[in-house]
Amino acid sequence: MVVEHWFDFACPYCYIAQDRNRILRDRGIEVVEHAFRSHPGIPPGGKPAGPRVGPTYEFLAREAESAGLPLRWSSRMPHTRPALAAFEWLKRARPKVAQRFAESVFAAHFAQRQDIESVALLTILAEAAGGDPVPLRAALADGTAYEALYKSERAAKRYGVERTPTWNVLGQSVSGLRPRVWFRDLTTVLRPTG
């Protein structure tokens, strides 16, 4: 069984959704991840982020802690287009490398407060994930990587994806972060029998 998942590196719910995808994968469900800019209007250089206080941020902190994911808020909302394009470009040839790359980009932003728009950082993270940084840098420079991102976003429109995280399960789109138990229960429905 395959579950499709759309994410953005700027989305804290997507950061925590890594834990939900791990639940699916640990139970033998294939998760195919796709890049989607949930805030395409954020310009290069990002934009200042307001204070992260109140019930929503308390919820995110609790969920991140339960998932074992460090959460340290950056003072800026990042421009994620280069990172998402790099992910999609890496995924075309080596999905496992792209998955490790995505995990490291999420950690760089949400745990280490690094600038995930930096091509230098992205190529370092790609190499650490097992990718070749030289062709990735070239694909970001010549636009090839961005073409891969546009394809992913066009596919998202066909599925009706409007925000992140969104999963497509058995032809149904489910948006928003669901509790861990929802994903554990889902695996009993999706697990092949016989």
Domains and CATH numbers, the chain: 2-190 (3.40.30.10)
Length of the chain: 194
Query: How does the average pLDDT of the chain come out, rounded?
Result: 95
pLDDT above 70 for 192:
no
Show Cβ contacts of residue 70 under 8 Å, excluding neighbours closer than 6 positions: 64, 107, 110, 111
Q: What's the whole-number mean pLDDT along residues 143-156?
A: 96
Percent of all residues in the chain with a pLDDT value above 90, rounded to a whole number: 91
Nearest-5° angle of CA 149, CA 154, CA 158? 145
In this prediction the pTM is 0.94
**The predicted structure's pLDDT at residue 126:** 98
pLDDT above 50 for 154:
yes
Expressed in angstroms, the distance from the first to the final Cα of the chain is 13
Confidence label for 194 from pLDDT (cuts 50, 70 and 90): very low
| 113 C-beta neighbours (distance < 10 Å), count | 13
**The predicted structure's pLDDT at residue 191:** 62
What is the rounded distance in angstroms from the CA atom of residue 148 to the CA atom of residue 83? 12
Q: How far is CA 155 from CA 65, 149, 162, 186, in A?
A: 33, 10, 11, 24
pLDDT above 60 for 39:
yes
Q: What's the whole-number mean pLDDT along residues 85-106?
A: 97
**The predicted structure's pLDDT at residue 118:** 97
H or E, element range at 187: helix 180-190
Tens-digit pLDDT profile for residues 40-49: 999 999 999 9
Q: What's the whole-number mean pLDDT along residues 69-78?
A: 96
Q: What's the whole-number mean pLDDT along residues 93-107?
A: 97
Q: Are 79 and 117 in contact (CB under 8 A)?
A: yes
Q: How far is CA 64 from CA 120, 171, 182, in A?
A: 27, 28, 16
Q: What's the whole-number mean pLDDT along residues 27-37?
A: 96
Q: Are 33 and 165 in contact (CB under 8 A)?
A: no
